[in-house]
Amino acid sequence: MSDRDRPLLAVLIDADNVPAKHAEAIMREVTTIGEPALRRVYGDWSNDHLKGWKAPIRELGLVAHQETANTRGKNASDIGLVIQAMDILHSRRFDIIVIVSSDSDFTALVNRLREDGVTVIGIGEKKTHDSLRNVYNRFILIENLDGAEPDTPAKASAKVGDALPLFKAAMDKIDTEDEWYNLGQIGQTIQAAHPDFDSRTYGHGKLSALAADLKALETRKTGNRLMVRLKS
């Protein structure tokens, strides 16, 4: 990242695979990551099923790209988005590319971007295949964005206890002089192994709240750091 305070984002939205009703929540989430300087949405706007995007495009300052399918069975939106992503890659202007889609056809594209050292964040629905989720640096579930504010979960989709094995696996990978672990480092380790990890999936807006709710963990503050350990 350059000398900017916030990373510069290129946000590419596949309208064919993302319901328009989620547009506001998606853009609200994106602004917590960085500055969405480029925000484009791709689709064949002559198609009636994309009419719901008309208001979000206007209200959220999105730039609509017309992608007309000249051949049946070919997704022109996908092709247009891929071309744009490669142009962005070669421009070297942006710190992070955000791809909003549940379409696993973008797996090869994300792999190519990451091979070139680009940070790529994905946003998609639960139906997104693991092959696409796991290739991103980070993957965010649209279903976790329905809260009124960023980091506020609308409804847990997994039990709190289901997160404990992820914490334990992260602890096993971290070298520590005693039994206490830096929670921030645990979060980074989990995210590296599971790009779709999100404390909101377990009903908590922040990792610290999730850790506090795990009965098998004990927490303590050391300066500005939150430390955790397994209860004996």
pLDDT digits (tens, 9 = 90+) for 74-98: 466 688 899 999 999 999 999 999 9
CATH number at residue 192: 3.30.420.610
The answer to whether residues 123 and 181 belong to one domain is no
- Same domain, residue pair 90 and 61: yes
83 and 198: one domain? no
pTM for this entry:
0.86
Q: How many domains does the chain have?
A: 2
Let me know if residue 1 belongs to a domain: no
- Tokens at 133, concatenated: 């989720």
Domain ends where: 145, 179, 211? 145
Establish if 110 belongs to a structural domain: yes
Domain that residue 16 falls in? 8-145
Nearest-5° Cα angle at 182, 30 to 180:
155
Of 74, 81, 145, residue with least CA distance to 113: 81
pLDDT score of 49: 87
Considering the domain architecture, whether residues 24 and 88 belong to the same structural domain is answered as yes
DSSP reduced 3-state for 115: helix
| Range scoring the smallest mean pLDDT among 16-20, 54-58, 67-71 | 67-71
Model confidence at 73: pLDDT above 50: no
Tens of pLDDT, residues 200-219: 999 999 999 999 999 999 99
What gap in Å lies between CA 133 and CA 194, rounded to an integer?
A: 9
Quick one: 118 and 21 in the same domain?
A: yes
Residue 3 lies in a domain: no
Flag whether pLDDT at 71 surpasses 60.
no
In this structure, is residue 41 part of a structural domain?
A: yes
Please say if the pLDDT value at position 68 is more than 80. no
Token pair recorded at residue 15: 């309208």
pLDDT of residue 201: 93
What confidence category does residue 123 fall into, taking pLDDT thresholds of 50, 70 and 90?
very high
- Residues 97, 40, single domain; the answer is yes
